[in-house]
Each structure stands twice: as C-alpha cells, then as structure tokens.
Amino acid sequence: MALLNLQLKDFRNIRHARLVPAPGINLLVGPNGSGKTSILEAIHYLGFGRSFRTHLTGRVILQGEQAFTLFARVAREPESLPVGLSKTRGGGTRLKVGGRIADRLADLAHILPIQLIHPEGYNLLTGGPKLRRAYLDWGLFYSHREFFAAWGRFRRLLKQRNALLRQQRPWRELSYWDTQLVAAGEQLTGFRQQYAEAISPVIRDIATDFLPEFDFTFDFFRGWDRQSELARVLEQGYERDLSLGYTQSGPHKAEIRIKARGMPVQDLLSRGQLKLLVCAMRLAQGLYLKQQSGQDCIFLIDDFASELDEQKRSLLAERLNQLGAQVFISAIDITQLGQMITRDNSKLFHVKQGEITENPGVRVSQ
Ligand SMILES: Nc1ncnc2c1ncn2[C@@H]1O[C@H](COP(=O)(O)OP(=O)(O)OP(=O)(O)O)[C@@H](O)[C@H]1O
C-alpha cells in the first residue's frame, strides 16, 4: 500500500496541507517544531485511528478549531481508494472508506498497514509485555483473517469474567463462562505461537545484519506456565483472582521475550542498540507481511538520525530500499541523511511553521 496523496486540515500546527508523496522514500526536513512529526502522526492516525503521542484528540486538533480532517488516496488494485478520517473535540469520529461511511476503525487499518519507528520506540523492549503483545497482534491482524474475531471474543469474555470476579460470584457461575474463555484463549494462543515462530527467524536475520555482535533468542510466553492447561490455571487461580478482582493468568499476559548472551535484551543493550533491534523487528514485520500477502506496509520514521551512527543509518536505509515500501522520514537537516537515500523515486519536502513545500528536482542522494 502507498499513499498517492495526503491532505491534512487543522491537524496540530498544520492549517491545511496537501502532499503528493513518492511511492518510495519521502523526506520531511525542517527545524524543530515545524510540523514534521505531525505529518507522520497524521498518517499514523489514518492507519491506527489514534496518535502515537497522545490519547487525547483535543491535543491534536489545531488550537481554536473544533475538528481535524485527514484524507488520503491509497494505491490499490484495480483502482485507488479514497479514505478519510475526521475527529471532533466532542469525541465524534467520522470515517469514510471508498466514499462510504465506515463504522469500524479496523476497516481503515486493513487498508493501511503502518510501521512506526520513532525515538521512544525502544519502549517496545523496555516497556511492559503489553507492547510486545501488541507487536504480535499487529502481525496477526494482517496475516490471519480469523484473528481479529478470536481476539475480540477473548477480550469480551475476559472482561465479563473480571466483572463477575469483582461481584464475588461463585466458582460454578464462572466455570460456565470459563469453558468459552478457554476455547477463545486457546485459539488466540495458537495464532500467536505460530506468528512468533514465523517472525523470529526474520527478525534474527535482519538483527544479525544490524547487530552482528549479538545472537538473539526469541521465546514466546503464552501468558501462563508451560506445563498447565488454561482451564486448570483458571480453576486453581480462582480464589486469588477473586481477591484481586481480575484474572491473573491467561492469553492477556502473553508476550515475546528476547534475550542475548543469556540476558534480557533490555538489561544488556545500549539505547542505540535497542533502537536497532526495534528497527529489525519492525522491518521484519513489513517483510513478512509482504512475503505472506504481497501487501506493503508504510514505514514512518521519526527523527531518523537520533541515536544511530552513520553506518547503522546506512544499513537501515539499505533494508528500507530493498523492501521497496513507501517510507516517510523526518529529519532536522538533509545532511543527516548522508549518502544513504539513493532510490530514484524519492521526494524531499520542506516543512516550515506548518507549511509543507515540495522541493522539485532535488535528487535526494547527497
Ligand atoms: N493542537 C495544536 N495546535 C497548534 N499547534 C500545535 C498543536 N499541537 C502542537 N502544536 C505545535 O505544532 C508544532 C509541530 O510539532 P512537531 O512535533 O510536528 O514538530 P517537529 O517538526 O517534528 O519538531 P522536532 O524536530 O522538534 O521534533 C510545534 O511547534 C507545536 O508547538
């Protein structure tokens, strides 16, 4: 998938802007506070229905305005598809796909798979399991048609179980619902296990290139111990769950644990190295998606230069070029991009105080 055009209205400091990006690498260059990240944030909004910087819609709408609107045309076979998203301060959302009102953000997400690499992205490794679970689930959302329904079913049943626990309901009442929870949970776990096994060698391959000094191991944790059945874990944990008011173990605690030299990577790697491993993980998902379904991701890379030395930046750029995906990269200065962006189908945009201008005829390789 690639964006053929993008329009922003009243989004952060951008009153109105229209971009016709290249199908390859798009460079957004401008000083601090000019609006580069806001453009990435807008594209992210179209793919995820939310920002990666705030969960408050009001922060994203241009001050003094009541709503923001984003519109894009997405390249698709046999013909391109218009998509639009508008959000108001009051919490209203208006979504359009192919000229029709859509009611689920998932409809938009399916059309626009997006991978984000940003300066705080190493959180994926240093933050809680939720982030690594979301990483696995992102891949499954695009690669397994049944995943989303299974995930939704499990979440509903878990919410209901937790509500019953808070109401101090007896075990026999919970056990009736647990049969369904276990079935949904095992299906979900099967999907995640499969995906974790498939994506790990793809990450390892790219990570070996970026960080040859480490040999990474990937261990999928399903959310409860290896020896026990989920039904048994729920039964045995009932008294404790009742006192806590929520379910302690299960697929909602799943994650992928990554180690090198026998240590969790978050305790061993430097920040730059963590960032590179996260880049490898994100690229791996894009590559795997393409291999499995022929679908391309859009890559958003905020502050390209931060914490990566020149050699590592070149390696990242090389991989991005090989992938052939549409990429949006923000940087303060074009010189930070060095020798690396050589693909012909690149464009350079200057961003200044919320105004975006294309720099025509500039070959991006320096
Ligand atoms: N809701 C809003 N309304 C108007 N302006 C806003 C709003 N939210 C943020 N801004 C301003 O928008 C600008 C855009 O910030 P953005 O993070 O996109 O800049 P940037 O070019 O990525 O900067 P940097 O290089 O420092 O990361 C900032 O100057 C910020 O103060």
The pLDDT tens digits of the residues spanning 155-189 come to 999 999 999 999 999 999 999 999 999 999 999 99
Q: How far is the CA of 58 from the centre of ligand 1 (A)?
A: 14
Q: What is the pLDDT of residue 3?
A: 97
Q: pLDDT for 224-271, tens place per residue?
A: 999 999 999 999 999 999 999 999 999 999 999 999 999 999 999 999
Task: Scan for tokens 């601090």, then name that residue.
Answer: 32
> What is the chain's mean pLDDT, rounded?
92
Q: Which has the closest alpha carbon to 143: 293, 251, 284?
A: 293
Structure tokens, 106 = 């998932």
Closest C-alpha to ligand 1, atom 9: 12
Q: What is the pLDDT of residue 303?
A: 87
Q: How far is the CA of 71 from the centre of ligand 1 (A)?
A: 20
Mean pLDDT by 10 residues, the chain (366 residues): 96 97 93 96 94 94 97 92 95 92 87 93 95 96 91 96 96 93 96 97 96 97 95 96 96 97 96 94 96 94 84 87 91 73 77 91 49
Q: CATH 3.40.50.720: does it fit domain 128-270?
A: no
Measured from the CA of 60, which atom of ligand 1 is nearest? 1
User: Would you say 88 and 66 are in contact if contact means Cβ atoms under 8 Å apart?
Assistant: yes
32 among annotated binding-site residues? yes
Q: Is 332 in the pocket of ligand 1 (CB under 6 A)?
A: yes
245 among annotated binding-site residues? no
Q: pLDDT for 263-282, tens place per residue?
A: 999 999 999 999 999 999 99
Q: Is 32 in the pocket of ligand 1 (CB under 6 A)?
A: yes
Q: What is the pTM of this model?
A: 0.93
In eight-state DSSP terms, residue 353 is T
Q: How far is the CA of 55 from the centre of ligand 1 (A)?
A: 16
Complex-level ipTM beyond the 0.95 threshold: yes
Q: What is the pLDDT of residue 365?
A: 45
Helices (H), 237-333: 238-244, 265-268, 271-293, 310-323
275 among annotated binding-site residues? no
